[in-house]
Amino acid sequence: MPRSNRPRRAVSGRTGSGRTGAGRSGAGKPAGQGAKGGPQPELDLERARSGFARRERAPDGEWMVRPITASRAEKSYICPGCFTAVPPGVAHLVVWSQDHIFGEAAGLAERRHWHSNCWTSRSYRYR
């Protein structure tokens, strides 16, 4: 269904669409102030770009998968898929078990760093 191009109706004394910022509760506050007047933490853009953990279901269980950008990859790891190094500066995935037998904390403690291709082409066969 197409969107309507008509202007919105005025609500309790406001005119127009109300998108100018006038009348908002936080419009007169200086930059860096939160809704309650306290300081807001600085936004880490690199962390925001790197992505959030997503849940994946597979025959071998439920997994949390978080992408790591090349600029945030600072250490060397061994990929459990191909048993070769994931060197610093290479984008990869951090994977941990969501349904670990000893709980989520144990699954997070046993997280592993995978090459993206190794994770997507892993075998679900039980050995």
**For residue 93, is it within any domain?**
yes
What does the pLDDT read at residue 71? 87
Can you tell me the distance from the alpha carbon of 123 to that of 99, in angstroms, rounded to the nearest whole number?
Answer: 19
| DSSP assignment letter at 102 | T
**For residue 53, is it within any domain?**
yes
51 neighbors 34 (Cβ within 8 angstroms): no
pLDDT: is 24 or 66 the higher one? 66
Can you tell me the distance from the alpha carbon of 38 to that of 52, in angstroms, rounded to the nearest whole number?
Answer: 26
**For residue 56, is it within any domain?**
yes
**For residue 95, is it within any domain?**
yes
**For residue 39, is it within any domain?**
no
| DSSP assignment letter at 33 | B
**For residue 37, is it within any domain?**
no
Confidence bin at 23 (pLDDT 50/70/90): very low
* Residue 32 one-letter amino acid: G
Quick: pLDDT tens for 76-107: 999 999 999 999 999 999 999 888 888 878 88
Q: Which range of residues forms the domain containing residue 114?
A: 45-120
What does the pLDDT read at residue 24? 46
Number of domains in the chain: 1
**pTM for the full model?**
0.58
pLDDT at position 51 over 60: yes
* Residue 94 one-letter amino acid: V
**For residue 11, is it within any domain?**
no
**For residue 2, is it within any domain?**
no
46 neighbors 73 (Cβ within 8 angstroms): no
Which residues on neighbouring strands pair with residue 33, listed in sequence order? Answer: 39
Computed from CA positions of residues 104, 110, 116, 119, in that sequence, does the dihedral angle turn out positive or negative? negative
What does the pLDDT read at residue 108? 83
What does the pLDDT read at residue 46? 60
Can you tell me the distance from the alpha carbon of 110 to that of 64, in angstroms, rounded to the nearest whole number?
Answer: 12
